[in-house]
Amino acid sequence: MEYSILQVVLVFIVTFIAAIDQFSFLESLYQPLVTGMVIGLILGDVQTGLIVGGTYQLMTIGNMPIGGAQPPNAVIGGIMAAILAITLHLDANVAVATAIPFSLLGQYGVTLIFTLMSPLMSKCDQYAAEANPKGIEHINYLSMCLLGLIFGTVVTLFFIGGQSVGQTVVNAIPDWLNNGLSAAGGMMRFVGFAILLKFMMNKDMWGFYFLGFALAIVVSNISALATPGLLILALIGFGFAYWDYQQNTELGGATAASMNDGGEEDGI
């Protein structure tokens, strides 16, 4: 498929902004669900963009940087997954699995920028001691532009030159490997949830987890409820969470009151 110069420029701009948003704007514009939809709008296939973005979002939902360690980058990975799915007509799961090497490039890019900017932190300390906020702003702008340029360049180069090359590679992939990539891409969303649960779950939450799992099975198998099923489950989950909050609040208030109900020193 042939794409215009305007579409190439828009893909670069979206990647540039998403790269900066990940660490600076923090408006969640970098999330794969958002970038997938935007890339779909630019390339003329919003439905595929949303499907791929949602699939990639589930895969990365539990990914988070710990200390200085960076996980595979969701910005480049999510955008490239949408581009690959739309330009090469790949299945969403295959596109997600195929985009993993690009997410590793993003990981290396972030690590490179962090490494390059580390020596400048002493300069920021100097600017702070001199009460020079403009100097600190300039260093921040430098790091933001460098990261955006690296991400935008990587995605744009592969978008421009990767269509013909990518199509040749995709056609050369045997069916057994293509099926394997599809299966791997399908499993990654559950890996993302598993990573999230590892941090969030404790023994008091397992009952709610199994209850939600059972409700999801019941709702998804009722045709009248299947379409709004996610909203229904979200409302049920909110109801349980609000009830639990009220119970804990009341118990906390009762405990506080019992501790202040007088004592021997009051003569009661």
- pLDDT tens across the length of the chain (268 residues): 577 889 889 999 999 999 888 888 777 888 888 999 999 999 988 999 999 988 888 877 756 665 555 667 788 888 998 988 888 888 888 888 888 778 777 777 777 777 778 788 888 888 888 888 888 888 888 888 998 898 888 888 888 876 555 455 556 667 776 666 556 555 655 665 676 677 666 777 778 778 888 888 888 888 877 778 778 888 888 888 888 888 878 766 666 555 555 555 555 4
- The H or E element spanning position 255 is helix 229-259
Coarse DSSP helix, strand, coil percentages of the chain, rounded to the nearest 5 percent: 80, 0, 20
8-state DSSP, 89 = T
> Per the structure block, which two tokens stand in for 34?
């958002």
Angle at 154 between CA 149 and CA 158, to 5 degrees: 145
Query: Rounded CA gap, 187 and 198, in Å?
Result: 17
Query: Rounded CA gap, 153 and 158, in Å?
Result: 9
Cβ-based neighbour number of residue 50 at 10 Å? 19
Query: Rounded CA gap, 189 and 185, in Å?
Result: 7
pLDDT of residue 14: 93
Phi, psi (rounded to 5 degrees) for 57: -60, -45
**Quick check: 61 and 196 in contact, CB under 8 A?**
yes
pLDDT of residue 30: 84
**Quick check: 35 and 14 in contact, CB under 8 A?**
yes
